[in-house]
Structures are given as C-alpha cells and as structure tokens.
C-alpha cells in the first residue's frame, strides 16, 4: 500500500555521499566498458567482418566469464574486507580493459572480453553489498538510484565521447579512455574508502563451499536470483544490436548516433534520482509493475519501427530508457533486502553471476534470432526479440511479487 503520510527522508552524511559517488563512478566505468560494445557493434561487425552471431558471442563471452567468476567468488565474498575485495577485482578489470584496447583480431577480442568479465562482472555485486551494508532500507532506494546513475552517465558522457574518439582513432581507443578514468577512481578507493568489515563480526560458515551451498539452498534467496535473472535477460536480448538496428533499419547516421545515446542518457540521469525517491516513498513492487508495462508497450513499438524522422527515434529511446531504469531501481532495492548480513556478499555474488549468465544466454539466443544478410542490409527478426521480452517481463513481475511478499512477511514478523 502506498504510504501517503510518509516521514521525511533522512539526510546523508558527507562520508556517505563520498561512498555513493565513488560507487557510482566505479559502476560508471564498469558499465561503460560493457555498454560501449553496443554502439561499437556496427563498427566492429564491419571492420572485423563479423556475423551477428559472432558479435553476439563477443558480448556473451564477457557475460559468461563474469557469471563463472561470480559463482567462484561467492563462497569467499563474506570472508574479506569489502574494500580489499573491491580493489582486487577493480585492478583486474583495469588490466582486462587495457587488453581490449590493444586487441587487433577477433580471437584476441574474445580473450580480452573473457578476462575483463572475470574481474568486472563481480564489481557490481561488491558495490551492491557495500551499499546494503552501509545504508538502511529506508535510504537504499535513493542509494541504488544514484549508484545506477552510472548507466545514464555512461550514455551522456562515456558513449558519445567514446564514439567520437573511435571515429578518430579506431574502435580500440574507447577502452584506453576507460583505463585512464578507472585508474583515477582506483586511487580514490584506495585512499578514501574506509574498511568495510562489519559483516566479519557476524557468525557465518567457515568453509567457503558450505557457505556457497547454504546460500544457494535458501529457497527465498533463489526467488531473488530468479527475479534478477529475468530482469537481465530482457536487457541483454535487445541491447547488443541497438546501434546496428538504428543505422541499418532506422537510417540513423553515424554522426547522429552519439547524440541518440546522449539524449537517452540525459533522460536517464534526470529520471533515476526521482525513481529512487519514489521507491523509498511508495510500494517498490507497484512501481516496478508500472514501469514494466510502460517498457513492454514501448519495446513493441520500437522493435517494429521502419525508417522515421530522427526525433521520433530519440523520443522512443527516451521513453524506453525511462521504463527500463524505472524497473531496475525498485527491483534491486527489493532483492538486496533478502539476504542476511552474513550472507550478503555471497548472495550478491551469486545474484550478479546468474544475472550475467542469463544475460549471456540472452545475447547468444538473440544472435541466433537476428539475421543480417550483408554488412549494410537491415536486421531481420529484431521485432521477435521484442515479443520475447514481453513474455519475460510478465514472468519478472510475477517473480518480483513473490520477493515483495517475502520481505513484507519478514518485516511483519520482526514487528511481532
């Protein structure tokens, strides 16, 4: 039920603001590294003479390696200072991204994406665990909203700048740009972030394998994992071919493409803090459901588009991004509430892992469905992906409803 007379939102301390900013910047670099593959897709496909399925594998190789890394890390995730864990994986992510920046062939690209995924895929779960450790549920919607602003910022700043320098110096150059920025963020984490060890005071399984097993065996946790996986499948299924669809089907020019991503990103930056506040004031599941229905309508329209004026393409992209991001914030806030503190690192690692694996499968399946007969011909069957996303989104609503019921039941029991 919506809270009409909700209490005023509590303020953040200066250190909490720093934590939010540094986690948002960390997410920005990791998301940009992954997201840049989509706008570079048309350039990569043509420069390396790739098929849609080969490009889909380049995207999914990152996701699969990130998923494997998440599962391998889950048993150890609650046994270390979260700051040290973040530093270790962020250094590995920077080195993997550097490898992407010096890649000259398709096999090298696959190897570089696998290495980057092994490290980068775990960083999101560590960031979410830090956010859940340091911020109460009453603040978590706003925190998730600001942290996830890295997604919008990557479109406003990272992707347009990345595309600009890619057009000047080749598709590898955006990865070198990310390395430079991530190195600055790494220094900030090392110097300013305090150790995060409160979870080490809580009794937990000493054996990492047992800890992993107990986390996986928890029925309520598994419902949360399923909700996140369904959310991921929808995004990965369409995203890799976004630039190729815009250029070859909607006749968006390469000069217009950075503007398209920038406008979508600005809308995301504007909407996400508002969604974060709403999710702290009203029922998170209701917000997720409204956003899901919104997104489903826009996705069907967009994936069936033929060449239209550029402003129409921009408008639909903005509407679609509003729906997508308005789903992510309330769902992540709800799912992050499921685990107990002693399980939080393992839960977030497994959650991130299954999210990546599900996304990798979706990208692979999408590559098999989408067809492009020649380098410059329109993509075929892109609308089929849109219809599949509707089915997946409905399943996602049902699953997150179960998550919401579990949380409300636990809150009721605590009051009793």
* Assigned token pair, 196: 């995060």
Q: Give me the pLDDT at residue 416, please.
A: 42
Alpha-carbon torsion, ordered 215, 140, 84, 192, to 10 deg: -170
86 backbone dihedrals φ, ψ, rounded to 5°: -65, -45
Domains by residue range for the chain, with CATH: 14-198+205-415 (1.20.1250.20)
9 backbone dihedrals φ, ψ, rounded to 5°: -70, 135
Could you list the pLDDT tens digit for every one of the 416 residues in the chain? 333 344 455 677 778 788 888 888 888 888 888 777 777 777 777 777 777 778 777 877 887 888 788 777 766 666 777 888 889 999 999 999 999 888 888 888 899 999 998 888 788 778 777 877 777 666 666 776 677 666 666 656 666 777 777 777 777 888 888 999 999 999 999 988 888 777 666 655 556 667 667 777 788 888 888 888 888 787 677 777 777 888 888 888 877 887 887 787 777 777 777 777 777 777 788 888 998 999 999 999 998 988 899 999 999 988 988 888 788 878 887 887 888 766 776 777 777 777 778 877 787 788 788 877 777 788 888 888 889 999 999 998 999 999 888 887 765 445 54
Q: Give me the pLDDT at residue 297, please.
A: 93
The answer to whether residues 349 and 125 touch, using CB atoms and an 8 Å cutoff, is yes
Q: Give me the pLDDT at residue 156, please.
A: 62
If we measure between CA atoms, which residue out of 65, 75, 159 comes closest to residue 120?
Answer: 65
Distance, CA of 39 to CA of 241 (rounded, Å): 8
Q: Give me the pLDDT at residue 317, please.
A: 87
User: 307: left (phi > 0), else alpha (psi -120 to 50), else beta?
Assistant: beta
The answer to whether residues 117 and 30 touch, using CB atoms and an 8 Å cutoff, is no
The answer to whether residues 342 and 202 touch, using CB atoms and an 8 Å cutoff, is yes
C-alpha distance from residue 400 to each of 336, 352, 361 (Å): 12, 16, 21
Q: Give me the pLDDT at residue 128, please.
A: 74
Triad 14, 20, 26: Cα angle to 5° = 135
């Amino acid at each position: 039920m919506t809270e009409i007379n909700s209490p005023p939102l509590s303020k953040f301390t200066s250190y909490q603001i720093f934590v939010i900013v540094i986690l948002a910047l960390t997410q920005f670099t990791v998301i940009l590294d992954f997201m840049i593959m989509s706008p570079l897709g048309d350039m990569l496909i043509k420069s390396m003479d790739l098929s849609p399925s080969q490009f889909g594998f380049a995207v999914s190789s990152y996701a699969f390696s990130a998923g494997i890394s998440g599962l391998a890390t889950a048993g150890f995730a609650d046994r270390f200072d979260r700051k040290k864990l973040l530093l270790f994986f962020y250094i590995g992510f920077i080195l993997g991204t550097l490898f992407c920046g010096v890649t000259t062939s398709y096999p090298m690209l696959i190897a570089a994406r696998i290495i980057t995924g092994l490290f980068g895929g775990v960083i999101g779960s560590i960031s979410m665990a830090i956010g859940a450790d340091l911020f109460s549920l009453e603040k978590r919607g706003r925190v998730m909203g600001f942290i996830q602003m890295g997604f919008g910022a990557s479109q406003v700043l990272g992707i347009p700048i990345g595309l600009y320098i890619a057009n000047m110096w080749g598709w590898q150059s955006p990865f070198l740009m990310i390395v430079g920025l991530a190195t600055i963020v790494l220094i900030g984490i090392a110097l300013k972030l305090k150790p995060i060890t409160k979870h080490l005071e809580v009794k937990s399984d000493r054996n990492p394998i047992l800890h992993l097993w107990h986390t996986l065996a928890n029925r309520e946790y598994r419902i949360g994992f399923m909700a996140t996986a369904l959310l991921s499948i929808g995004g990965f299924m369409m995203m890799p071919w976004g630039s190729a669809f815009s250029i070859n089907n909607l006749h968006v020019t390469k000069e217009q493409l950075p503007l398209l991503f920038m406008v979508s990103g600005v809308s995301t930056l504007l909407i996400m803090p508002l969604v974060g506040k709403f999710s702290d004031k009203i029922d998170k599941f209701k917000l997720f459901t409204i956003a899901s229905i919104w997104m489903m309508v826009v996705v069907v329209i967009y994936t069936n588009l033929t060449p239209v004026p550029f402003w129409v393409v921009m408008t639909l992209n903005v509407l679609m991004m509003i729906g997508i991001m308005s789903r992510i914030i309330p769902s992540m806030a709800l799912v992050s509430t499921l685990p107990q503190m002693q399980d939080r690192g393992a839960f977030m690692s497994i959650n991130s892992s299954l999210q990546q694996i599900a996304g990798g499968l979706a990208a692979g399946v999408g590559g098999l469905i989408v067809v492009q007969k020649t380098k410059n011909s329109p993509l075929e069957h892109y609308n089929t992906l849109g219809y599949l996303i509707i089915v997946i989104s409905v399943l996602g609503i049902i699953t997150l409803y179960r998550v919401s019921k579990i949380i409300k039941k636990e809150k009721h029991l605590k009051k009793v």
